């Protein structure tokens, strides 16, 4: 048996240069696996993740196993989330310290064939961000023409980068503006903006987003140099009201913005938006205001949208925003076959036939907590793809 080893740099190189049809192959493969999982395929096993906290670094390490007809896999990834608590299924070895430097998500995915033979060892950083954005892309692609002109992104790390990268790759000809909102204002967003503006080889022209503008704002409660806090809030409010898609990609303990900032202020009906939240992954974390969730579920003043999740079972255990609002399983729409449609588990959610319309033009909240099956599926596909491209280190007879 041959073991394929792929470094983070090699993975980035492969994923950055996917053609439209190659990206579609990755997306279709993931969507099919999620559909099988949601349909209760007996070959798929998805145990709960386990976490431990390091006495040496104060960082959390997550163990995410999975199994399917493609084989078995486990991702081990370490990260620091300031002042957060581990997920419910946790073995804690010590309390988190505040003096250690933060650790960005890093680790590896180990893949095995159905017979248990080792098939791949893949660095997890870029691949984790890519596979998460790949699932979100299923929702982005559902939006109607003209509904992706302005993208606002909370966060400036790998998840933020890949969510924008795939959105531009798939529908870049429609996107006119991308604004990153960082915790340290312009300094935190400069690097990620340079990654887009510095792309060479005619990538922007070929993919159709050469005319797209990029900007950076300070997060709520912060301000740019020389700017008062009130000015920072006003600028953020203006950008949020213009947003067609809002990506939330930070492990935050509190909502990233006030729901009132999305109000139209008497300028006509509130526009429909896609809000993608993938950064929070424990019951203590929050990214989206609870008011937006209540509106989407019809428990506020009016029905305002729909809540879609990658896995209903996982979201109700790990998604702090949904847990805080007491969301029930039957109120959620679960992502299944994202290639063409999103199917709800209970038909009552779409009794009036409005689901398809909401997904295209209405207010949609997509909450993802991730699952090991995504790593197994995308990782296995990547090993085969890399082999065809001649990438990676091949260890024969491992």
Kindly tell me if the per-residue pLDDT of 96 is higher than 60. Answer: no
- pLDDT (tens digit, 9 = 90+) per residue, 15-52? 999 999 999 999 999 988 988 888 889 999 999 889 89
| Buried residues in 207-223 as b, exposed as e (16+ CB within 10 A) | bebeebebebbbbbebb
For the four alpha carbons of 190, 170, 373 and 294, in that order, the dihedral sign comes to positive
Domains of the chain (ranges; CATH) run: 2-128+373-396 (3.30.1780.10), 148-271 (3.40.50.720)
User: 223 is written with which tokens?
Assistant: 């301000």
For the segment 269-287, the average pLDDT, to the nearest whole number, is: 87
pLDDT of residue 201: 77
Spatial separation of the C-alpha atoms in residues 292 and 258, rounded to whole Å: 10
Kindly tell me if the per-residue pLDDT of 374 is higher than 90. Answer: yes
- pLDDT (tens digit, 9 = 90+) per residue, 321-361? 999 999 998 888 887 644 334 444 434 455 556 677 778 88
Beta-bridge partners for 123: 108
For the four alpha carbons of 127, 128, 131 and 132, in that order, the dihedral sign comes to negative
Contact 204, 174 (CB under 8 A): no
């Amino acid at each position: 048996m041959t073991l394929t080893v792929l470094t983070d740099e090699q993975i980035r190189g492969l994923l950055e240069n996917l053609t439209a049809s190659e990206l579609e192959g990755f997306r279709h493969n993931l969507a099919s696996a999620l559909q099988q999982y949601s349909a209760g395929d007996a070959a798929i096993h998805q145990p709960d993740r386990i976490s431990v906290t390091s006495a040496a670094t104060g960082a959390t390490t997550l163990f995410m196993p999975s199994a399917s007809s493609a084989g078995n896999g486990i991702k081990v990834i370490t990260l620091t989330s300031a002042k957060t608590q581990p997920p419910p299924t946790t073995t804690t070895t010590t309390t988190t310290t505040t003096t250690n430097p933060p650790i960005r998500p890093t680790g590896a995915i180990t893949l095995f064939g159905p017979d248990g033979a080792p098939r791949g060892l893949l660095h997890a950083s870029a691949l984790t961000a890519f596979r998460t954005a790949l699932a979100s892309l299923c929702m982005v692609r559902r939006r109607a023409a003209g509904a992706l002109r302005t993208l606002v992104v909370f966060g400036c790390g790998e998840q933020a980068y890949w969510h924008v990268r795939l959105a531009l790759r798939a529908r870049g000809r429609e996107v006119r503006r991308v604004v990153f909102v960082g915790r340290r204002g312009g300094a935190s967003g400069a690097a990620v903006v340079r990654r887009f503006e510095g792309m060479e080889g005619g990538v922007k022209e070929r993919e159709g987003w050469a005319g797209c503008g990029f900007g950076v704002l300070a997060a709520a409660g912060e301000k740019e140099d020389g700017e008062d806090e009130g000015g920072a809030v006003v600028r953020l409010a203006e950008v949020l009201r213009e947003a067609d898609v809002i990506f939330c990609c930070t492990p935050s303990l509190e909502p990233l913005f006030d729901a009132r900032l999305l109000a139209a202020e008497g300028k006509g009906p509130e526009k429909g938006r896609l809000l993608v939240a993938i950064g929070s992954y424990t019951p203590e974390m929050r990214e989206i205001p609870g008011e937006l969730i209540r509106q989407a579920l019809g428990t506020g003043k009016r029905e305002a949208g729909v809540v879609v999740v990658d896995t209903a079972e996982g979201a109700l255990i790990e998604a702090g925003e949904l847990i805080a609002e007491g969301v029930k399983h039957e109120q959620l729409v679960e992502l299944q076959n994202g290639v063409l449609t999103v199917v709800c588990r209970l038909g009552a959610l779409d009794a009036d036939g409005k689901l398809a319309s909401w997904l295209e033009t209405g207010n949609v909240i997509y909450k993802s907590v991730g699952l090991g099956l995504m790593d197994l599926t995308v990782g296995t596909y990547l090993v085969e793809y890399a082999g065809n491209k001649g990438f990676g280190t091949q260890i024969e007879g491992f």
